Amino acid sequence: MAGRKTRSTNEILVDILNELAEHTDSEHGLTVKELSNRVGATEKTVHAHLQLLEAQRPMGRTVRRLTATDMRQADSADARPGWCMEPAIDVAELRLFGDGLALSRIDEEYARESYDRLRVLAGFAGAHSQGLRNIRVPKPYNREFLSNVENLDEAISGRHVVSFRMCDYAVDGSLTLRIDSESGKPREYRADPYQMTYRNGMYYLLCHMHGKNGVAFAHVDRIRDLRIVEGVRQECPLEELHAPDGSPFSLADYLAERLYPWTGQAEDILMHVSSLSCIYDWFERPSVSRVDARTYEVAVHADPQTVLWWALQYSDNVDIDIVQPQSLRDAMAAVGRRLVERYGSGSGEDDI
């Protein structure tokens, strides 16, 4: 009778690592006996490997034995003693990464596969996660989206120039290449990419468009035929940009000053509001003081056009009075007049 094949030390070690990584965390362990049964090795062999892993911290993650003190301090109702590996990410991080995948407008199958890979990094909690729910592939789905993100990341890291075409929407919601009005051919853009960022549920590339001034937003979901342009220097490297006051340009400040992806000049804006929820939900560093029992004075530095759009969405249930600048007050008044002309009394066909 042929004997059972002897497993190598490396095979046993890898199996132990996999069991610890996928089925333990700082409150849920596996005993030596349980690991022995799972990996098909003697308890003596398993214990020796665990001591080795404890000393070496594989992949920078702590391997240790949970003690009685750990069990008393555990928050989980089903905490159990034994050996564990510290998860690479915790439950909160897993949830946030998962929500990011759900918002990213990518293929449903790929999103779920990516989340399953993340669950492994969360150990025991990841294995018991319910996974992603309520995901659907967006109708104007761009199959080049993921490769765009990968290539843009490479271009940003290497400070390369990129070339691409932009799409617009057809009547049925499909993506169609934007056509140059003069040549009649798909229009090609070149840009110096700086950063990718989410804004209002969409993914944008913050960049400098060649032949234009300043910084622009490009909707990554609508980019096609993207490639890195070799041998061409950036027209406007990020380190050469400056803020209006001459100070070094800050992408973080630039984004904070724009509530929507818009590239106007930020200004000092003073307003009176009746609620602070709409302020702190949107503005990063507002200066707020109380005027009376129902009014707050708020000062922000922001793009006026984006503040106008922001104010309009709250106009039916929050009192927002733009005090300064006068140009923004005038713009608000102009929008109000257009709304009255369209929807005011006497504007409908059925009005008597």
pLDDT digits (tens, 9 = 90+) for 58-70: 888 899 999 888 8
Nearest to 192 by CA among 169, 226, 215: 215
Torsion of CA 94, 100, 102, 108, to 10 degrees: -90
- Contacts of residue 266, defined as CB under 8 A and 6 or more positions apart, other chains included, come to 257, 258, 301, 302, 303
**pLDDT at residue 191 above 80?**
yes
pTM: 0.79
Residue 54 belongs to domain with CATH number: 1.10.10.10
The pLDDT, as a whole number, for residue 326 is 97
pLDDT band at 138 (very low <50, low <70, confident <90, very high): low
Please indicate, yes or no, if residue 198 is contained in any of the structural domains.
Answer: yes
Asked whether the beta carbons of 29 and 19 are under 8 A apart, the reply is no
Residue 305 Cα to chain centre, angstroms:
24
Domain boundary among 221, 249, 277: 249
Q: Cis ω on the peptide bond leading into residue 140 (within 30° of 0)?
A: no
**Mean pLDDT value of segment 127-150:** 78
Residue 3 has pLDDT above 50, yes or no: no
Q: Which domain, by its residues, includes 309?
A: 267-343
Query: Tokens in use for 206?
Result: 């913050």
pLDDT tens-digit profile of 33-58? 999 999 999 999 999 999 999 999 88
- 186 with 217, same domain: the answer is yes
For residues 278 and 281, give the distance between their C-alpha atoms in angstroms, rounded to a whole number: 5
In this predicted structure, the answer to whether residue 330 has a pLDDT above a threshold of 90 is yes
Domain count for the chain: 4
Angle at the Cα of 262 (from 260 to 265), degrees rounded to 5? 120
Inside any domain, residue 118: yes
Asked whether 153 and 161 are in contact (CB, 8 A), the reply is: no
pLDDT tens by residue, 204-248: 999 999 999 989 999 999 999 999 999 999 999 999 998 888 888
Which tokens go with 334? Answer: 């102009």
What pLDDT, on the 0 to 100 scale, is given for residue 8? 87
